[in-house]
Amino acid sequence: MDKVRFIYNPYSGENTIITDIDRVIMIHQKYGYEVVPYRISFEFDMSKAFEGLDETYKYILVAGGDGTIDTAVNHMKTLGIDLPIAILPVGTANDFAKFIGIPEDVEAACEQILNSVPKKLDIGKINDKYFINVASTGLFTDVSQKTDVNLKNTMGKLAYYVKGIEQLPSFRKLKIKVKSENAYFDGHMYLMLVFNGQTAGNLKFAYKAEVDDGMLDVIIIKAGMIKDMIALFIKMLRGDHLEDAAGLVYFKANKIEVECYEDIVTDIDGERGPDFPLVIECIKEGLEVLGVIAKN
């Protein structure tokens, strides 16, 4: 019988995957698959989840948010595992799963995955780490890392907003240098986002992004007058196009180099990213994914 390695994070989101495990196994058995689960936790991390894989395993099913998916992908790349991956979006942030059209309902997601063929999608790489949705730096990018795990689990997305409000007093201009083949920025900014996906916190910033174009979408919010920033964020919240928006730089690139000497960190899908300087690139068709129905 063909096998599926099922990696799940019982603490993701509102812990809903715990009540859905039986449905995951039942649906896969209906299609002739044996599900081999691995539960990740503080005691059992992701590093052991890929042991014992052989030719009988057909794909890896990961239940969690963007951070959990990122961790799985990084381990797969490090270990040279090229099996297709499938996502059950049960985390606090499920931006990438929404981008590729995976339903939030676990049963619907399993059916969609099992009735699909693998599609090669782009992934991002920042220095020696991979990311699926967005890499960022600047104000608020360390919110997730500074938010207590228990607070995340009990309050969900609200926990990020609470922590973000706490950081408002640190609102300051940040000097950064960004260069690519077709763009250059050397100045002060508040926030930089490099998207492989389209959304962050369910807000569609990178509306031009595609799943397999071999390009990353770079957005730099320049430091400026607060009134201009308010107008810009209103446009973002409304989902307006941003090409001519004052205070914002938006361009596509396959590879960018970033220098910054400020006391700030980087973030990859809610987890701590590498230190500066950065080389961020798109790995075209770098990951095979099941269940994809891209929404552009």
CA–CA dist 49, 2 (Å, integer): 18
- Identify the three-state secondary structure at position 209: coil
The answer to whether the CB of 273 falls within 8 A of the CB of 129 is yes
If you search the block for the tokens 């995340």, which residue do you land on?
152
When divided into structural domains, the chain yields a total of 2
Residue 124: inside a domain: no
Q: What is the pLDDT of residue 295?
A: 55
Same structural domain for residues 30 and 104? yes
For residue 79, give the CATH number of its domain: 3.40.50.10330
Strands 134-138, 184-195: parallel, antiparallel or unpaired by DSSP? antiparallel
Residue 49: inside a domain: yes
Same structural domain for residues 247 and 214? yes
Q: Where does a domain end: 87, 116, 145?
A: 116
CA–CA dist 248, 80 (Å, integer): 38
CA angle in degrees (0–180, nearest 5) for 206-208-211: 90
CA–CA dist 36, 56 (Å, integer): 11
Same structural domain for residues 34 and 73? yes
Same structural domain for residues 43 and 178? no
Burial class of residue 160, CB neighbours in 10 A (0-12, 13-18, 19+) = buried
DSSP string, 127-169: TTEEESSEEEEETTTTHHHHS-HHHHHHHTHHHHHHHHHHTGG
The predicted model scores a pTM of 0.88
CA–CA dist 200, 122 (Å, integer): 17
C-alpha to C-alpha distances, 86 to 16, 94, 123, 150, 228, nearest whole angstrom = 18, 13, 14, 27, 41
pLDDT tens-place values along the chain, 296 residues long = 899 999 998 887 778 899 999 999 999 999 999 999 999 988 888 989 999 999 999 999 999 999 999 999 999 999 999 999 999 999 888 999 999 999 999 999 999 999 999 999 999 999 999 999 999 998 766 555 555 555 444 444 444 444 444 554 456 789 999 999 999 999 999 889 999 999 887 778 888 899 999 999 999 988 876 666 667 767 766 766 666 677 889 999 999 999 999 988 999 998 889 999 999 999 999 999 999 996 54
176, amino acid identity: I
Residue 121: inside a domain: no
For residue 214, give the CATH number of its domain: 2.60.200.40
Same structural domain for residues 265 and 139? yes
150, amino acid identity: N
The answer to whether the CB of 162 falls within 8 A of the CB of 231 is no
Burial class of residue 179, CB neighbours in 10 A (0-12, 13-18, 19+) = middle
Residue 122: inside a domain: no
Q: Where does a domain end: 55, 86, 116?
A: 116
Residue 296: inside a domain: no
Same structural domain for residues 169 and 244? yes
Same structural domain for residues 277 and 156? yes
Q: What is the pLDDT of residue 209?
A: 93
If you search the block for the tokens 């961790």, which residue do you land on?
71
Residue 295: inside a domain: no
Active site residues: 271
Q: Where does a domain end: 79, 94, 116?
A: 116
The answer to whether the CB of 271 falls within 8 A of the CB of 144 is yes
Burial class of residue 263, CB neighbours in 10 A (0-12, 13-18, 19+) = exposed
Tell me the residue range of the domain where 68 lies. 2-116
Same structural domain for residues 55 and 168? no
Tokens matching residue 93: 């942030």
Same structural domain for residues 77 and 219? no
Residue 212: inside a domain: yes
Same structural domain for residues 187 and 86? no
Same structural domain for residues 135 and 231? yes
Strands 57-64, 271-272: parallel, antiparallel or unpaired by DSSP? unpaired
Residue 268: inside a domain: yes
C-alpha to C-alpha distances, 168 to 38, 172, 225, nearest whole angstrom = 40, 9, 15
